[in-house]
Amino acid sequence: MDHSQESNVFLQEIEHLRQEIQRHNKLYYVDDQPQISDAEYDRLMRRLQELESLHPDLITPDSPTQRVGAAPLEKFGTVTHSIPMLSLANAMDEEELREFDHRIKRTLGTEAEIEYVFEPKIDGLAVEVVYENGMLVMGSTRGDGITGENVTQNLKTISSIPLRLLTSDPETRQSIVLPRKIEVRGEVYMDKTDFLTLNQERELTGEPLFANPRNSAAGSLRQLDPSVTAKRPLKAFFYAIGAVEGVNFDTHWNMLAYFRTLGLRTNPLNKICQGIEQVLEQYQHLNETKDSLPYEIDGTVVKVNSRHLQEELGTISRSPRWAIAFKFPAKQETTKILDILVQVGRTGALTPVAVLEPINIRGVQVSRATLHNQDEIDRKDIRIGDTVVVQRAGDVIPEVVNIVESGRTGAEKIFVMPTRCPVCQGEVIRPDGEAVHRCTNPNCPAKQIGHLEHFVSKRAMNIEGVSTKQIESFVNNGLIRDAADFYFLKKEQLLPLERMADKSADNVMQAIAQSKHPTLSRFVYALGIRHVGEHTASMLANYFGSLDRLKIASEEELTAIYEIGPEVAKSVSQYFSDPGTAKLLQKFFDGGVEIVNPEGVAARQHLTGKSFVLTGTLPSYTRDEAKDLIEKAGGRVVSSVSKKTDYVVAGRDPGSKLAKAQQLGVNILNEEEFQQLLQA
Ligand SMILES: NC(=O)c1ccc[n+]([C@@H]2O[C@H](COP(=O)([O-])OP(=O)(O)OC[C@H]3O[C@@H](n4cnc5c(N)ncnc54)[C@H](O)[C@@H]3O)[C@@H](O)[C@H]2O)c1
Ligand SMILES: [Zn+2]
């Protein structure tokens, strides 16, 4: 291949990448409906950058690498930014971040540590708000960086964007020097819970769902009718400046402080760091605690603090040289659905599961993702063979977020729920008003196995090390028909089973023996009564104190208990009035199961009615242990802090819950105080 042929091949790939990126830019920035994951997009962009750096002669001014965002929509009216709103270069890993630091030192000709400001990278959309003599006169989106959309009226509906700047400090009453004109820049975003609620509402009205909080913030702000925006719970943080007249700042940090004086919200997690190592520490810390923030962040932004040095470093085509986005590993990836299977759970519910071409998300190999139910599949129009965006967030099971329409070939197959249970061939129905399909066969082995799995699980009877495979083998070999059969198993019966060595048989027998003395709440939870989760089980145990009393409780008596709804009451009373239940319970006792009252402090129930929120790591207890202690003493653990919360137990590296508690004046306990309370 001669030189011109070779560059022809490059040119073709470059052209193709540019077209693809431009198409996705429009979907993302203009339509607020991205089709591919950010990670996939970033790969396209990086490949284009790589090719262009090999062939700088092929770079054109309209290449997406040279530009920001996408052109604004005319229908909003456009605003030309007096100083362009740039994007940020990004570092994918530690090495690239260190390289950023080296580059800065090299450019500045210094070996001294650089002072940085470290900020969370809010996943929203960038806006600029102009104040003249303290009054909000104009607001716009970033657009293509040069011109943005005029969304002044929409921005005015956001309560964290003041209509007028403060003219005196509310506490000291000292007056504030107002700039004649100031263009402040920041991020408009939506809290995670508000995003979920909004999507739920849209689902009811049949509107297309937003893929993530960023798109829902962008879609909500970019409305032609500001009264629609007004109904959306948008917020803003400010972090940058455009043109300004009449004030000066020596550092970025002081500028942020000045923003607050003016009444402009800045992020409370912003930090000053001496040198890049401190930045890395902050990054690790934020990466570990980010899930507890009310809003989504997709990484961090690192900025040189000195405004003088910022100027010296300057900008390149689409980003400043003095700042970089250091992103977190992506939680969404693009892959393909190879097949859709149906799993049958403990309650007989059929769950469709996508079998995926394996992908790595945040260091974990993902090959399955839940599709929830038929409605979800229909709404997202998911078919076998589709290219899809898959998300794995926190401990949540991976799920399919949306399909990539451009990946369609026409060969995709539509999925429909089977009418027969894939496990037992029993009839499948979809009860009125429910989204799930269920197997109606009461003796469905899937239900039984699911039920037994629940029974042995850690927070139920905690029969350690008994796996699903073993349960299946016990059931298939007729050793176990119900949960009480565990207590009649003999080692000799286990030995002939496949993959059951002498040692493993011993382990199983020992684990079963050790589970014979559960607390009442564990036992009730382990029974797997419909609608009785762990928390309800512990409430029932606390209230009745013994199985004998709980057994005979009437539906009315149950309903009268605080927090027990009619559905739960009905389910509990039905369960215990079933003659089969009486037999099963007797069988447990015959097998040697004995319910014990929790010893010591716990039996006193002195924390009944008190609610606790746990945050951070405690030196001496795991989350589960702390929860157990609280519940044994009658208290309950809830997940979020409100005015009604009685105590927040805060360990090392607490999340935003601590700040919230401080704000609301909730009692905060450290480990020692927590222990004192338990023993009080
Ligand atoms: N999935 C898709 O199809 C698709 C398409 C286009 C863009 N994208 C995503 O958008 C990214 C590119 O977008 P971009 O040009 O806006 O760059 P960016 O999001 O990587 O970084 C720049 C932006 O970060 C935001 N930001 C948040 N907190 C900030 C802070 N504290 N200080 C400064 N800025 C802060 C601002 O909006 C700023 O414009 C891509 O990397 C990709 O993740 C995805
Ligand atoms: Zn079945």
What fold, for 79-327? D-amino Acid Aminotransferase; Chain A, domain 1 (3.30.470)
Helix ranges (DSSP H) in 206-268: 213-221, 226-231, 252-261
Q: Is 126 in the pocket of ligand 1 (CB under 6 A)?
A: yes
Domain ranges (residues) in the chain: 3-66, 79-327, 332-438, 445-590, 600-679
Looking at every residue in the chain, the average pLDDT score rounds to: 91
Q: pLDDT class for 635, splitting at 50, 70, 90?
A: confident
Starting from the edge strand earliest in sequence, which strands make up the sheet with 647-650, in order? 636-637, 611-615, 647-650, 667-669
Q: Which residue has the tokens 């009315």?
A: 556
Q: Rounded to the nearest 5°, which phi and psi values hold at 251?
A: -130, 160
Strands 349-361, 332-344: pairing is: antiparallel
Count of Cβ atoms closer than 10 Å to residue 48 Cβ: 21
Name the strand (E) or helix (H) holding 663.
helix 656-664
Decide: 342 and 353 in contact? Cβ < 8 Å: yes
Count of Cβ atoms closer than 10 Å to residue 212 Cβ: 23
Cα 530 off chain centre by: 27
Quick one: tokens of 453? Answer: 């799995």
Count of Cβ atoms closer than 10 Å to residue 193 Cβ: 13
Quick one: tokens of 677? Answer: 């309370």
Measured in angstroms, how far is the CA atom of residue 126 from the centroid of ligand 1? 8
Q: Is 123 in the pocket of ligand 1 (CB under 6 A)?
A: no
How many helices (H) and strands (E) the chain has is answered by: 24, 24
Measured in angstroms, how far is the CA atom of residue 315 from the centroid of ligand 2? 64
87 annotated as ligand-binding: yes
Q: Is 211 in the pocket of ligand 1 (CB under 6 A)?
A: no
Measured in angstroms, how far is the CA atom of residue 345 from the centroid of ligand 2? 9
Ligand minimally distant from the alpha carbon of residue 406:
1
Residue 599 has pLDDT above 70, yes or no: no
Q: pLDDT by residue (tens digit) across 23-72?
A: 999 999 998 888 899 989 999 999 999 999 999 998 998 899 999 999 99
Name the strand (E) or helix (H) holding 50.
helix 38-54
Measured in angstroms, how far is the CA atom of residue 266 from the centroid of ligand 1? 18
Cα 349 off chain centre by: 25
Ligand minimally distant from the alpha carbon of residue 418:
2
Checking phi first, is residue 209 left (phi over 0); if not, alpha (psi -120 to 50) or beta? Answer: beta
Sequence-separated (6 or more) residues with CB below 8 Å from residue 153: 226
Measured CA to CA in angstroms, residue 238 lies from 128, 129, 242, 257, 279 at distances of 9, 10, 12, 11, 20
Alpha carbon distance 157, 235 (integer Å): 10
Q: Is 68 in the pocket of ligand 1 (CB under 6 A)?
A: yes
330/282: higher pLDDT: 282
Its pTM surpasses 0.80: no
Q: pLDDT class for 646, splitting at 50, 70, 90?
A: very high
3-state secondary structure (DSSP) of residue 481: coil
Decide: 353 and 374 in contact? Cβ < 8 Å: no
Alpha carbon distance 149, 136 (integer Å): 16
Among the CATH numbers 3.40.50.300, 1.10.1060.10, 1.10.150.20, 3.10.20.30, which is that of 445-590?
1.10.150.20
Decide: 392 and 364 in contact? Cβ < 8 Å: yes
Q: pLDDT class for 640, splitting at 50, 70, 90?
A: confident
Decide: 511 and 464 in contact? Cβ < 8 Å: yes
Q: Which residue has the tokens 């601590």?
A: 658
The crossing angle, in degrees rounded to 10, of helices 38-54 and 3-25 is 150
Q: pLDDT by residue (tens digit) across 454-479?
A: 999 999 999 988 998 899 899 888 89
Count of Cβ atoms closer than 10 Å to residue 601 Cβ: 17
SS (H, E, C) 284-349: HHHHHHHHHCCCCEEEEEEEECEHHHHHHHCECCCCECCEEEEECCCCEEEEEEEEEEEEECCCCE
**pLDDT at site 394:** 66
Q: Is 657 in the pocket of ligand 1 (CB under 6 A)?
A: no
**pLDDT at site 600:** 36
Alpha carbon distance 593, 547 (integer Å): 13
Hey, whose CA ends up nearest to atom 44 of ligand 1?
38
Question: Can you say whether the dihedral through the CA atoms of 182, 187, 189, 192 is positive or negative?
Answer: negative
Sequence-separated (6 or more) residues with CB below 8 Å from residue 531: 567, 568, 571, 572
3-state secondary structure (DSSP) of residue 57: helix
Alpha carbon distance 361, 392 (integer Å): 7
Decide: 174 and 168 in contact? Cβ < 8 Å: yes
Q: Is 41 in the pocket of ligand 1 (CB under 6 A)?
A: yes
Q: Which atom of ligand 1 is nearest to the CA of 68?
A: 15
Ligand minimally distant from the alpha carbon of residue 345:
2
3-state secondary structure (DSSP) of residue 184: strand
Which of 301, 304, 331, 405 to mutate to test ligand 1, by most ligand atoms within 8 A of the CB atom?
A: 301
Alpha carbon distance 144, 292 (integer Å): 33
Q: Is 671 in the pocket of ligand 1 (CB under 6 A)?
A: no
Q: Which residue has the tokens 């997940």?
A: 639
13 annotated as ligand-binding: no
Ligand minimally distant from the alpha carbon of residue 26:
1
Q: Per DSSP, what are the bridge partners of residue 251?
A: 306
Mean pLDDT value across residues 90-115: 95
Cα 62 off chain centre by: 36
Alpha carbon distance 673, 546 (integer Å): 31
295 annotated as ligand-binding: no
Q: Is 344 in the pocket of ligand 1 (CB under 6 A)?
A: no
303 annotated as ligand-binding: yes
Share of the chain above pLDDT 70, in %: 98
Decide: 638 and 627 in contact? Cβ < 8 Å: no
Measured in angstroms, how far is the CA atom of residue 66 from the centroid of ligand 1? 15
16: DSSP letter: H
Ligand minimally distant from the alpha carbon of residue 33:
1
> Whose CA is closest to 115, among 285, 325, 276?
276
Q: pLDDT by residue (tens digit) across 69-101?
A: 999 998 999 999 999 999 999 998 999 999 999
Residue 606 has pLDDT above 90, yes or no: no
**pLDDT at site 272:** 98
439 annotated as ligand-binding: no
Residue 198 has pLDDT above 90, yes or no: yes
Measured in angstroms, how far is the CA atom of residue 425 from the centroid of ligand 2? 6
Q: Which atom of ligand 1 is nearest to the CA of 42?
A: 41
Measured in angstroms, how far is the CA atom of residue 363 from the centroid of ligand 1? 23
Which of 81, 117, 121, 403 to mutate to test ligand 1, by most ligand atoms within 8 A of the CB atom?
A: 121
Decide: 464 and 486 in contact? Cβ < 8 Å: no
46 annotated as ligand-binding: no
Q: Is 70 in the pocket of ligand 1 (CB under 6 A)?
A: no
Mention the CATH class of domain 332-438. Answer: mainly beta
Which of 187, 253, 279, 326 to mutate to test ligand 1, by most ligand atoms within 8 A of the CB atom?
A: 187
**pLDDT at site 601:** 35
Residue 286 has pLDDT above 80, yes or no: yes
Alpha carbon distance 220, 214 (integer Å): 10
Alpha carbon distance 487, 587 (integer Å): 9
What value, to the nearest 5°, has the Cα angle with vertex 166 and ends 164 and 168? 150
Alpha carbon distance 58, 399 (integer Å): 40
Mean pLDDT value across residues 230-252: 96
Count of Cβ atoms closer than 10 Å to residue 297 Cβ: 23
Which CATH code for domain 600-679? Answer: 3.40.50.10190
Mention the CATH class of domain 3-66. Answer: mainly alpha
**pLDDT at site 562:** 75
ipTM above 0.85, yes or no: yes
Which of 28, 30, 65, 88 to mutate to test ligand 1, by most ligand atoms within 8 A of the CB atom?
A: 88
**pLDDT at site 603:** 52
Q: pLDDT class for 3, splitting at 50, 70, 90?
A: low
Alpha carbon distance 370, 648 (integer Å): 34
Q: pLDDT class for 426, splitting at 50, 70, 90?
A: very high
Measured in angstroms, how far is the CA atom of residue 329 from the centroid of ligand 1? 14
What value, to the nearest 5°, has the Cα angle with vertex 325 and ends 319 and 328? 155
Question: Can 75 be counted among the known catalytic residues?
Answer: no
Residue 602 has pLDDT above 80, yes or no: no
Choose the catalytic residue: 26, 75, 105, 121.
Answer: 121
Q: pLDDT by residue (tens digit) across 155-179?
A: 999 999 999 999 988 888 889 889 9
Mean pLDDT value across residues 618-627: 84
Q: Which atom of ligand 1 is nearest to the CA of 125?
A: 37
Q: pLDDT class for 656, splitting at 50, 70, 90?
A: confident
Alpha carbon distance 304, 429 (integer Å): 62
Measured in angstroms, how far is the CA atom of residue 99 from the centroid of ligand 1? 21
41 annotated as ligand-binding: yes
**606-609: long-range contacts, CB 8 A cutoff, minimum separation 24:** 606/633, 606/634, 606/680, 607/633, 607/634, 607/635, 607/677, 607/678, 608/542, 608/634, 608/635, 609/562, 609/634, 609/635
Q: Which atom of ligand 1 is nearest to the CA of 124?
A: 37
273 annotated as ligand-binding: no
376 annotated as ligand-binding: no
